[in-house]
Amino acid sequence: MYITDLLELTSILVLGLGTQWLAWRLRLPAVPLIILVGLIAGPGLEFLGRIPAVPLSRAIHPELLFSSLMLPIVSLATAVLLFQAGLGLRFADLRASGPAAWRLSVGSALFAAPAIAIGAHFLLDQGWLESALLAGVLLAAGPCELAPRDRRVRALSSAGAVSEAESTIRCALGPLAVVLLFNVLFAAESTEPDADVASASATALIKTLIFGAALGAACAWLVALLLRLSQVPGHLQQPVALLLLAVALAWAELFQPGAGLFAAVVMGLVLANQRLADVGRIADAQGPLYVLLVPSLLMLLSARLPLAALTRLGWESVVFAAGLVFVVRPLAVLLTALRSGLGRREKLFLACIAPRGMLAASLASVFALHLEEEGRFAQADALVATTLLVVVVTGLAYAIMAAPLARRLGAPHDAAQLRPTSETARKRETKNENEVSSRGDFGGA
């Protein structure tokens, strides 16, 4: 049993990192490719094993491998991603974009949320809880994970400070809203028939806000204070920050299930915007831990999907994903960017480019695991399966459309126009100018 588990754990790491490397070599988006490989290694081999002449079985059995540790592992890994997303949002960098960035990011999300939830409920026959969570997950996680190779694409997708800020705001603040939404809806659905639903939902909301914000902020200030007093050497800054992140996650979950993810985002936001100490080493997401964590987690989440959940995906799911690409996103951007300060080319490009990725898959999986603990296996599987389908469809579609669309619209040729406008973005591009394609399209999350 020990050898079998060790080989399976190694397979997750090898397949995840190997697929990311393959995506870099083929110049393809890494997230959809890793999901497809994970689906093949998990439910795909299970399907082939049902053929009598092909005695195959799953190469990866995450549920058997991790058993009761599945939810803690996925929650902790997701907390790390949310922590990094929070670290990416420095409010000082958003001043150049003014209210236009907030109007574009928040306004488009508010417009698209009802459309996605209604479409999921009536087209995919999902319950209102799962439909609302799906809308929140898809809007909270994108569009922040494109990382195009072509400098013209990057110029148009940034479109100055406004469009660059949309990605940062949505990835950092979106998860706060969707975690609150999950806790409120989950509390309402989990109450007894004769219980006060409004009171249970309000209690869950207040406890999430109090314990999540308090623990996240406290751990962030503790990290900043330790750095200020020079009590942590450079090579231990990131490990110490992740250790306190785990503490915040565990204690917040103890007081209110689901509040740990809220605490993770708050901790990242507070650390990014405090002035006690420099957190550049902590904010660096290119270390070995993150390079292994992101593809391995995505491989794990896709391989654990039951075969039955995939077989339930029909033409309705494809229509739903296509609607996000060709209807919901364009209308949301065009209606909310009327006075954003963007030009016609930038508006059109942003309306056509909004991939989802790693953060959407991890958030959906955490929520699904909570639903499974309540015995709602069918709803949980449908939530994850639909999210992964949207990630694959949008990732591949936008990867194909991005460069040709940018050339069609005529990206600026002036090198000065190709530079990011915020100080943080300029430093990031200067440091990683030759590493854009090697990072694998995981972007800010």
pLDDT digits (tens, 9 = 90+) for 93-123: 776 665 666 777 777 788 888 889 999 888 8
Q: Which pair of structure tokens corresponds to residue 43?
A: 């439910």
Q: Are 44 and 303 in contact (CB under 8 A)?
A: no
Highest mean pLDDT among 24-28, 39-43, 403-407 belongs to 39-43
Q: How many CB atoms lie within 10 A of CB 153?
A: 23
Q: Exposure string (b/e) for 365-383, b if CB count within 10 Å is 16 or more?
A: bbbbbbbbeeebebbbbbb
Confidence of residue 444 (pLDDT cuts 50, 70, 90): very low
- Structural domain total, the chain: 1
Cα distance between residue 178 and residue 115, in whole Å: 16
Distance of CA 266 to the CA centre of its chain: 16
Residue 31 lies in a domain: no
Q: Write the Ramachandran bin of 376: left for phi over 0, alpha for psi from -120 to 50, otherwise beta.
A: beta
Residue 53 lies in a domain: no
pLDDT, position 248: 95
Section 394-406 average pLDDT = 74
pLDDT, position 425: 47
403 pLDDT more than 80: no
pLDDT, position 252: 93
Q: Which pair of structure tokens corresponds to residue 141?
A: 């996680």
251/129: higher pLDDT? 251
How do residues 262-281 score in pLDDT, each as one tens digit?
Answer: 999 999 999 998 888 888 88
Residue 403 lies in a domain: yes
Helices (H), 307-357: 307-311, 315-323, 329-336, 344-352
Structural domain boundaries, residue 233? 71-432
Residue 52 lies in a domain: no
pLDDT, position 146: 44
Distance of CA 91 to the CA centre of its chain: 20
For 55, residues 6+ apart whose C-beta sits below 8 A from its C-beta are 49
pLDDT, position 432: 45
Report which of 10, 4, 26, 14 is spatially closest to residue 441, judged by C-alpha positions. Answer: 26
Residue 445 lies in a domain: no
For 415, residues 6+ apart whose C-beta sits below 8 A from its C-beta are none
Lowest mean pLDDT among 46-50, 224-228, 251-255, 408-412: 408-412
Cα distance between residue 6 and residue 8, in whole Å: 5
pLDDT, position 250: 94
For 355, residues 6+ apart whose C-beta sits below 8 A from its C-beta are 29, 31, 142, 143, 145, 146, 391, 394, 395, 397, 398, 399, 441
Section 386-404 average pLDDT = 80
Lowest mean pLDDT among 69-73, 239-243, 318-322, 371-375: 371-375
Report which of 244, 236, 242 is spatially closest to residue 219, judged by C-alpha positions. Answer: 244
Q: Are 362 and 112 in contact (CB under 8 A)?
A: no
Helix-strand-coil split of the chain, %, nearest 5: 75, 0, 25
Residue 13 lies in a domain: no
Section 216-243 average pLDDT = 91
Q: Say how many Å lie between the first and final Cα of the chain, rounded.
A: 35
Q: Are 9 and 296 in contact (CB under 8 A)?
A: no
Classified as helix, coil or strand, 445 is: coil
pLDDT, position 42: 87
209 pLDDT more than 80: yes
Residue 20 lies in a domain: no
pLDDT, position 342: 67
437/338: higher pLDDT? 338
Report which of 306, 331, 444, 273 is spatially closest to residue 388, judged by C-alpha positions. Answer: 306
Amino acid at 39: L
Q: Exposure string (b/e) for 402-419, b if CB count within 10 Å is 16 or more?
A: beebbeebebeeeeeebe
Task: State the chain's mean pLDDT as an integer.
Answer: 78
10 pLDDT more than 70: yes
Residue 190 lies in a domain: yes
Section 302-312 average pLDDT = 86
